[in-house]
A = this chain, B = another copy of it.
């Protein structure tokens, strides 16, 4: 065992036959996503900071004052999940809930100063990590990949 991090996952072992799996686009997406996740953890250092939690911070940073329900909608979370995710950052002094003057039920979510600093850090770390993920592609190829992925993602809901 030489590799402590990332489980040292070998994506395909040439000794075995994977049937039709490698020809399925969805399978490739899943593998790519797993790989992303593994590397993400290494890059960020803190295992508690998952892609989802980072996404939350990013979205709050870009849209200060959103309601929790709105955040849940954007991130595809249930209400309780949103509550927990916000709790996570609030206990770390990165997010604050501020009362909304117009509607005293709802609470606007904002970055604290520490949160802004943390986000600035994370953005850099993660952008760099993301570049490593695709370092084997030329710039043109990467742009192409992204635009193809975009179209697949935005595709019809079926």
Contacts and interface: CB of A to CB of B under 8 A. Distances in A.
A76 B33 CA distance: 14
A101 to B, nearest CB: 21
Nearest to A9: B76
Contacts of A145: 25, 145, 148-149, 152
Chain A, interface SS category: helix
Interface residues of A, number: 73
B30 A51 contact: yes
A58 B38 CA distance: 24
A28 B146 contact: yes
Interface in A26-50: 26-37, 39-40, 42
A23 B131 CA distance: 11
